Structure 1
Amino acid sequence: MRTIFMALTAALFSATVGAQHQFLVFGDMPYSPIDEALLTPPAGPLYQGVRQTPHHFIVHVGDIKAGAVACTDHVLRGNYQLVSNLSERPFVYTPGDNDWTDCDRKGLSTRYDELERLSFVRKEFAVHTVALHDYERQPELPENQAWRIEQVQYLTVHVVGTNNGRAQILKSHKKQALQAVKKRDQHNIQWLKRHADKDLTAMVVFFQADIFRSSSGQGVCSDNNRKCDGFAVYRQYLDKLAQHSDYPILVVHGDTSEFCFSQRQSQLWHLNAPGDFQVLDIAHVTVNVDSAKPFQVSPLLTNSAIPRCEDGG
């Protein structure tokens, strides 16, 4: 039966995946037994939906556990195994705040130093080569990944919620943690600039944080501005890149509960992937650079229309 299924799947891919690139993306799950049931083979509806939907690869944009669940080795490993085995196609993961920076929250049964948890996530989940064309990891931040399909550039950058790791530093040394954030910002921007090739036909960028939501702080972060907006540098860079590029750019993130899709005034396309209790689904994205709408998005489990994102753009 498995041989027949794989043969049918291969035929489906060869018939539908050509000039158009297709991928699946979700985040903020599993948070509960309900999520786990949806994702668990062989009967889980999301598991079945993934196996029946053509795609080149599948991406999880962070938060592989609920914020109220302790970040134990067992939980992180078990949940990663569940989401990474959904598809026989390549799997890509970028960390979320629930996976490391929020592991020091008060009220958790076991609290961790967030930098120690970041080290664990890197050691466990950012060491393997993924079977994608021109695939690479950034040496300084191995969780940052990049790959290409034809002239479409895909990449992840490590941007997380909790004001990009600047807020609620409860167990790590604060100065050390903030220095680590500063270095991560620098390497993230370098990674983006390195792959913003003039010869591209499209770019898709994945990260966890909803950078388009208002932050409690204001202004770009610096050594002298601690109460700052940890996402401002990314909004500004990506909006400017979209304004001046000859190719369309799509940003895909999780972190907030909305499942929405729209285009900002800067021409930057914006997809808030499903997940986070309220929308237990996975998005199917088609990239077609010859279309007036280069990115088309649909959910796996429903036929509901996807609302526009309220991002102030």
Structure 2
Amino acid sequence: MLSFIGLTWALSSNAFLVMGDMPYTPIDALNLAPKGVLGSKINTTEHAFLLHVGDIKSGAEPCTNELLTKNKQLLSALTTQPFIYTPGDNEWTDCDRANLTPRYDELERLVFLKSLMYDRAYLEKAKQLEQFKRQASMAENARWQFAGVEFITLHIAGTHNGRRQILHSDKQLAYQQADARDANNLQWLAQANPTAKGYVIAFQADIYTHQTDQPACSAALQQACDGFKVYRDAIREFASTVKKPVLVIHGDTGPYCQQSLANNLTRLNVPGDYMVSDIAKVALAQQNATVTWQISSLKSGKPLEQQCR
């Protein structure tokens, strides 16, 4: 459990906002409107950037160009500050579900999604962030500095990062792309700045709730495997090696909660997923040479106390 006793919190300018798994419902859309409860809170809350960890639509809705474009426009208009996005499964890997009409090749949807989300306006805003960079081999992955902390986004989507429920695409090609994502993600994490005071690693999938007892997926083992094990192992090793505070942020499952995974490793499951129409505010603070964070609800202003099970 995080302890905040004795800490002097930084000003709100040392805060950022993070959301995921929305808009899912008409209520989400109303809340995110300029005069909605969340839209108005964003406008009156100082923040350096707004981070969305994926799933910009409900999995029950078809992945049409029109819906993805409409929700992208809604989300990118929420703030005048940089808006950072990392892909979720609902907008590409789940677009081939049998109950959706129309159904899509998920790999084709990923190509469209990246061209839609990472346009010129997105990049112009993102480049306002200190030392903002994109990965050359997988441009949806980004990193930047804020208040001495390095932020790293990784493309890790649900369905075990596109390794399961491949219903409308060439499976071997999907497996090859999943292998490439794994290699790129692990390389991007390994390139973290060693001088940072702490690290925030953000992606969509809940790699902890959805863990299995199966071995890790690889190019040699594509089925009956855990597509998230390689990331749980890598993040645990990363935190052990850097010996600095590490905050993992994800969405994908319902609970809005935090959990201590090790002395210097914490995970935050952001609000969303139709159950909690809210946004998390994360304020960075420093005590001596140590950085830490205070997580609270944007809607209520109350600190997050719920622990992940």
Whichever structure has more strand as a proportion of its residues is 2
Aligned pair 1:115/2:107, yes or no? yes
Following superposition, the deviation at residue 245 of structure 1 comes to: 1.6
Match of 2:271 in 1: 274
Match of 2:49 among 57, 71, 79: 57
Q: 8 Å contact 1:255–1:276 — kept in the other structure?
A: yes
1:214 CA displacement? 3.3
Provide the residue aligned with 1:23 in structure 2: 16
- Aligned position for 1:201: 197
Alignment of structure 1 residues 86-105 onto 2, 5 Å? 86-105=78-97
Question: CA separation in 2, counterparts of 1:111 and 1:158?
Answer: 23
In 2, the alpha carbon distance for the partners of 1:77 and 1:149 equals: 29
Q: Note if 1:220 corresponds to 2:219.
A: no
**TM-score (norm. length: structure 2):** 0.90
Q: Does the CA-based 8 Å contact 2:147-2:284 persist in structure 1?
A: no
Post-superposition shift, 1:17?
A: 4.7
Question: Partner of 2:72: helix, strand, or coil?
Answer: helix
- The 1:307–1:62 alpha-carbon spacing in structure 2 relative to 1, beyond 3 Å, is same
Q: 2:197, 2:291 within 8 Å by CA — same for their partners in 1?
A: no
Q: Deviations over 1:14-63 (max 9, x none)?
A: x9356xx210001000011111000011x210001111111100001000
Structure 1 stretches of 4+ moved >4 Å: none
Amino acid at match of 2:189: L
How many Å apart are 1:198 and its aligned residue?
2.0
Show the counterpart of 2:177: 180
In 1, Cα distance between equivalents of 2:39 and 2:83: 14
Distance 2:282 2:139 in 1: 25
The offset of 1:125, in angstroms, is 1.1
- Per-residue CA deviation, residues 179-208 of structure 1 (Å, 9 max, x unaligned), is 00000110011111112x221101111100
Instruction: Give the letter aligned to residue 295 of structure 2.
Output: V
Once residues 235 and 156 of structure 1 are traced to their aligned partners in structure 2, the CA distance between those partners, rounded to angstroms, is 15
Give 5+ residue unaligned stretches, structure 2: 1-9
What is the deviation of 1:262?
2.4
Counterparts of 1:266 and 1:186 in 2: how far apart (Å)? 27
Paired position in structure 1 for 2:306: 307
- Residues 17 and 280 of structure 1: is their aligned pair in 2 closer, same or farther, counting only changes over 3 Å? closer
Is 1:33 paired with 2:26? Answer: yes
Alpha carbons of structure 1 residues 216 and 16: separation in structure 2 relative to 1, 3 Å: closer
Tell me what 1:151 maps to. 148
Number of aligned pairs? 292
Q: Distance in 2 between matches of 1:147 and 1:305?
A: 25
Say if 1:249 and 1:268, in contact at 8 Å, map to a contact too.
yes
Cα 1:304–1:22 change in 2 (3 A) is closer
Give, in whole Å, the separation in 1 of the partners of 2:91 and 2:83: 17
Contact kept? 2:198, 2:291, Cα under 8 Å: no
Is 1:171 the equivalent of 2:179? no
Q: Which of the numbers 291, 294, 307 marks the counterpart of 2:292? A: 294
Whole-angstrom CA distance in 2 between matches of 1:96 and 1:214: 15
Higher relative contact order (CA 8 A, sep 6+): 2
Identify which range, 295-304 or 113-122, moves more after superposition: 295-304
Shift of 1:137: 1.2
CA distance in 2, matches of 1:158, 1:277: 22
Moved more, 130-139 or 86-95: 130-139
Tell me if the contact between 1:25 and 1:59 (Cα under 8 Å) persists in the aligned partners.
yes
How far, CA to CA, are the matches of 1:65 and 1:33 in structure 2?
Answer: 11
Asked if the contact 1:23–1:55 (Cα under 8 Å) also holds between the matched residues in 2, the reply is yes
Asked if 1 retains the 8 angstrom alpha-carbon contact of 2:257 and 2:304, the reply is no
**For structure 1, which segment, 138-147 or 251-260, has the greater mean C-alpha deviation from structure 2 after superposition?**
138-147
Structure 1 gaps of 5+ residues are: 1-14
Aligned residues with identical type, % of pairs = 43
TM-score by length of 1: 0.89
Query: Is the counterpart of residue 70 in structure 1 residue 62 in structure 2?
Result: yes
| 3-state DSSP of counterpart to 1:143 | strand
